C-alpha cells in the first residue's frame, strides 16, 4: 500500500493478569505468539518500517520473533503507551504517518487497518468499537456534532463518561511530522501516573489537526488479551472463523466448533474431517481425504483418497494416495509413504520410506528403513535401528513377506521376494527369494505342572 507508513507494535507491557513467566505477547494463539498475529496484519499493509516496542520479559521477545523487516526498541521502565511510542521514534521515518498497534490485540484485520488509514486522511485516526460491556477500556468522548474531543481512561472517568459504550481499541494513526512533538508534550498527571498515548488527541485538536474516528464493525477484532480467560475466548473466535473458511471452501466438518488449526490447512475437494482433530504447521490434504476423530496432523501432506482412521498422530510426513492409516498409528518425521500403503494400529514409522502397496497392519516399529513395494510386515515386527550409539538402516526389497514378531537388526537388507518366518531375529543380510528362519526347537513336557498356590 504505502511505503510512507511506519507501524509501531506495543509489546512492552507486563501482562500481570496472565499469571505467567512468559511475556504476554508471546503466549500462543492458534500455535503462534500473539505478537506474530499482529505483525502479520502489519505486514499486509506493506509499511516502510515495523518497530516492536519491548520491555517486560527483556530479550525473550525479540529472540522469539523473527523477521529481517523488524526493528526493536526497548522501553525500560514502562511508563505508559505514549512513552512506549516515544521509544520507537528513532527507528521511524519522520515524514511518514505512524500506525500504532497493540501486541495483545491479535485479531485485527488488515482491511480494518486500511479503512482506518483511509478515514484518517492527514488527521489523527482512532479505531473505536462499541462494546456491550466497556469496563476497563478508554471511553471515546464526542461533542454534540459527534466530533471526537478526547479519550478518558476507565480509571479517570466520571460515572457519566463510564456509561459511554464506544471505546478506544488502542489502535491509532498518528499523522506524519507531528508525533515527536506531541509525544514529548505528554504529561503523566492521571490515575495511573503514566504517559497516555490517548492524550495526543487534545494536542492534535490544539494544533487544529482533525481527529477522525473509525468504528470497527466487529467487536472480536478489537478484543485484547489480558487474562487466560480472554486468551481462550480469542482462540475460540479465531478457530471458529477458520472453520467457517474451510466450510466455505467445501470441506465437510463434523462439528465446526471442534477443530483446531494451528497453522495452515489446505484441502482439496470432498475432504471430510471428523471431530476433535488438530492441524499444526502446514498441512495439505488432497481430494477425497477423510480424517477420523481425534487425529493430530503436523506438517503433513496427504494425497488423494487416503483415509485416516481415528486417533492417529502424524508429524512431518508425506502420505501417498489411497492409503489407509490407523486407528492409533504414529507416523514420525521423515516418513514417506507411497500410494496404497496400509499402516494399522500401534504401528510407529520414523524416517522411513514405504513403497506402493506395502502394509504394516499391527504393532510394529519401522525406523530408518527403506521398504519396497508390496511388502507385508507382520504384527510385532521391529527394526532394531539403534545400537546404543548409532542409528542404522534396514532395507527391505519389493515383495518381501515378514512374519510376526521379527527383529531386523540393522544394518541389514532383506532381498527381493524373501520370506522371513515368524519370530526370526535377522542379523545377517537375507538373499532374494526363499525362506529365512532361526533354528529353534519346540519342546513339549507332558508331565509339567504349573505352580499352584498352597491351600491354607
Ligand atoms: C489502553 C488505552 C485504552 C484502550 C485500551 C484498549 C491508553 C492510555 N489506554 O489501555 O484507552 O481502551 O488500551 O485495550 O493508551 N504497553 C507498552 N508500554 C507501556 C504500557 C503499555 O508497551 O508502558 C503496551 C502493552 O504491552 C499493550 C498495550 O501497550 O500491548 C496496551 O497497554 P495496557 O496497559 O494494556 O493499556 P490499557 O490500560 O488496557
Ligand atoms: Mg490492556
- 24 alpha carbon to ligand 1 midpoint, in Å? 12
- φ/ψ (deg, to 5) at 32: -130, 150
Q: Which atom of ligand 1 is nearest to the CA of 14?
A: 26
What the block records as the C-alpha cell of 381 is 515386527
Closest ligand 1 atom to 153 CA: 11
Please check whether the domain covering 231-436 is classified as CATH 2.40.40.20. Answer: no
CA distances from 95 to 9, 48, 180 (A): 19, 11, 11
Distance from Cα 81 to the centre of ligand 1, integer Å = 5
Q: Of 48, 52, 140, which Cα lies nearest the Cα of 97?
A: 48
- Helix or strand (DSSP H, E) at 206: helix 200-206
Atom of ligand 1 nearest to the CA of 12: 22
Residue 291 β-bridge partners: 273, 308
Q: What is the pLDDT of residues 179-194, one digit of tens each?
A: 999 999 999 999 999 9
Residue pLDDT, tens place only, 33-64: 999 999 999 999 999 999 999 999 899 999 99
Whole-angstrom distance, CA of residue 216 vs CA of residue 127: 7
Ligand in closest contact with the CA of 103: 1
Taking the CA of residue 78 as reference, the ligand 1 atom at the shortest distance is 23
Q: How far is the CA of 355 from the centre of ligand 2 (A)?
A: 55
pTM above 0.85, yes or no: yes
pLDDT of residue 121: 94
Q: Residue 250: how many CB atoms within 10 A of its CB?
A: 11
Answer whether 39's CB lies under 8 Å from 52's CB: yes
Q: Which residues of the chain have pLDDT under 50?
A: 1-2
Q: Counting ligands in written order, which one lies closest to the CA of residue 73?
A: 1
3-state SS assignment for residue 257? coil
Residue by residue, DSSP assigns 344-374 as EEEEEEES-EE-TT-EEEEEEEEESEEE-SS
Set of cell numbers at residue 406: 521379527
Q: How far is CA 195 from CA 83, 142, 189, 191, 443, in A?
A: 6, 22, 8, 11, 88
Residues in Cβ contact with 368 at an 8 Å cutoff, skipping those fewer than 6 apart: 350, 351, 352, 383, 385, 391, 392, 393, 394, 410
Please report the atom of ligand 1 found closest to the CA of residue 195.
8
The C-alpha atoms of residue 310 and residue 411 are separated, in whole angstroms, by 34
Cell of 452: 499352584
What is the rounded CA–CA span in Å between residue 408 and residue 402? 10
Grid cell listed for 347: 504401528
Query: How far away, in angstroms, is 11 Cα from ligand 1 center?
Result: 9
Protein residue with least CA distance to atom 26, ligand 1: 13
Phi, psi at 174, each rounded to 5°: -95, 130
The residue whose CA is least distant from atom 39 of ligand 1 is 137
Locus of grid cell 511475556? 23
CATH architecture of 5-222: Alpha-Beta Complex (3.90)
| Among 170, 198, 199, residue to substitute to test ligand 1 (most atoms within 8 Å of Cβ) | 170
pLDDT tens digits along 57-109: 899 999 999 899 999 999 999 999 999 999 999 999 999 999 999 999 999 99
Domain coordinates of the chain in residue numbers?
5-222, 231-436
> Mind telling me the catalytic residues?
362
* DSSP letters spanning 95-123: TSEEEEEETT-TT--HHHHHHHHHHHTTS
Query: Residue 110, exposed/middle/buried by CB under 10 A (0-12, 13-18, 19+)?
Result: middle
With a 6 Å cutoff on the Cβ, whether 196 touches ligand 1 is yes
86 Cβ closer than 6 Å to some ligand 1 atom:
no
What angle do helix axes 34-43 and 110-120 make, rounded to 10 degrees? Answer: 50
Please give the distance, rounded to the nearest whole angstrom, from the Cα atom of residue 354 to the centre of ligand 2: 52
Residue 142: exposure state from Cβ atoms within 10 A (0-12, 13-18, ≥19):
middle
For residue 144, give Cα distances in angstroms to 101, 141, 151: 29, 10, 15
Q: Identify the residue whose cell numbers are 463518561.
A: 161
Confidence at residue 1, expressed as pLDDT on a 0 to 100 scale: 44
Q: Is residue 284 a contact partner of residue 306, using CB atoms and an 8 Å limit?
A: no
Nearest residue to 336 (alpha-carbon basis) of 316, 309, 322: 316
Ligand 1 geometric centre to CA of 240 (Å): 27
User: Is the CB of residue 294 below 6 angstroms from any atom belonging to ligand 1?
Assistant: no
- Which pLDDT belongs to residue 15? 86
d(CA 111, CA 5): 15
Q: Which ligand approaches the C-alpha of residue 155 most closely?
A: 1
Residue with cell 498352597: 454
Alpha-carbon distance 424 to 406, whole Å? Answer: 5
Provide the Cα torsion 348, 349, 355, 358; round to 10°.
-10
Amino acid at each position: 500500500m504505502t511505503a510512507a507508513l511506519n507501524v509501531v507494535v506495543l509489546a512492552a507491557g507486563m501482562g500481570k493478569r496472565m499469571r505467567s513467566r512468559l511475556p504476554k505477547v508471546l503466549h500462543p494463539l492458534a500455535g503462534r505468539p500473539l505478537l506474530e498475529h499482529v505483525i502479520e496484519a502489519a505486514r499486509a499493509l506493506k509499511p516502510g518500517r515495523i518497530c516492536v516496542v519491548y520491555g517486560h520479559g527483556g530479550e525473550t521477545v525479540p529472540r522469539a520473533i523473527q523477521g529481517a523487516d523488524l526493528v526493536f526498541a526497548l522501553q525500560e521502565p514502562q511508563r505508559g503507551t505514549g512513552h512506549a511510542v516515544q521509544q520507537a521514534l528513532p527507528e521511524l521515518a519522520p515524514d511518514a504517518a505512524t500506525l500504532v498497534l497493540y501486541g495483545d490485540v491479535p485479531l485485527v484485520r488488515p482491511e480494518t487497518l486500511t479503512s482506518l488509514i483511509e478515514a484518517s486522511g492527514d488527521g489523527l485516526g482512532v479505531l473505536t468499537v462499541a462494546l456491550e460491556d466497556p469496563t476497563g477500556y478508554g471511553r471515546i468522548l464526542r461533542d454534540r456534532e459527534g466530533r471526537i474531543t478526547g479519550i478518558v481512561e476507565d480509571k479517570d472517568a466520571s460515572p457519566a463518561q463510564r456509561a459511554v459504550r464506544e471505546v478506544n481499541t488502542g489502535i491509532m494513526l498518528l499523522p506524519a511530522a507531528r508525533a515527536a512533538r506531541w509525544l514529548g508534550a505528554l504529561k503523566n498527571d492521571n490515575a495511573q501516573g503514566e504517559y497516555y498515548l490517548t492524550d495526543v488527541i487534545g494536542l492534535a485538536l490544539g494544533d487544529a489537526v482533525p481527529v477522525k474516528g473509525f468504528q470497527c464493525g466487529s467487536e472480536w477484532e478489537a478484543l485484547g488479551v489480558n487474562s487466560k480467560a480472554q486468551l481462550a475466548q480469542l482462540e475460540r473466535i479465531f478457530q471458529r472463523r477458520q472453520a467457517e473458511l474451510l466450510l466455505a471452501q467445501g470441506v465437510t466438518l463434523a462439528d465446526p466448533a471442534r477443530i483446531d488449526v494451528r497453522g495452515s490447512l489446505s484441502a482439496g475437494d470432498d475432504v471430510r474431517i471428523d471431530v476433535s482433530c488438530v492441524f499444526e504447521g502446514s498441512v495439505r490434504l488432497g481430494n477425497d481425504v477423510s480424517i477420523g476423530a481425534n487425529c493430530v496432523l503436523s506438517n503433513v501432506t496427504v494425497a488423494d483418497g487416503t483415509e485416516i482412521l481415528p486417533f492417529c498422530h502424524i508429524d512431518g510426513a508425506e502420505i501417498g494416495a489411497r492409503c489407509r492409516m490407523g486407528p492409533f498409528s504414529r507416523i514420525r518425521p521423515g516418513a514417506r509413504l507411497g500410494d496404497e500403503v496400509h499402516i494399522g494400529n500401534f504401528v510407529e514409522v520414523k524416517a522411513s520410506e514405504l513403497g506402493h502397496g506395502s502394509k504394516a497392519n499391527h504393532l510394529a516399529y519401522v525406523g530408518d528403513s527403506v521398504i519396497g513395494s508390496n511388502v507385508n510386515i507382520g504384527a510385532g515386527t521391529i527394526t532394531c535401528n539403534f545400537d546404543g550409539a548409532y542409528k542404522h538402516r534396514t532395507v527391505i526389497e519389493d515383495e518381501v513377506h515378514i512374519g510376526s514378531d521379527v527383529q531386523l537388526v540393522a544394518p541389514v537388507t532383506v532381498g527381493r521376494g524373501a520370506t522371513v518366518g515368524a519370530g526370526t531375529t535377522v542379523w545377517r543380510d537375507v538373499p532374494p527369494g526363499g525362506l529365512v528362519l532361526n533354528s529353534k526347537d519346540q519342546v513339549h513336557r507332558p508331565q509339567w505342572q504349573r505352580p499352584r498356590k498352597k491351600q491354607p
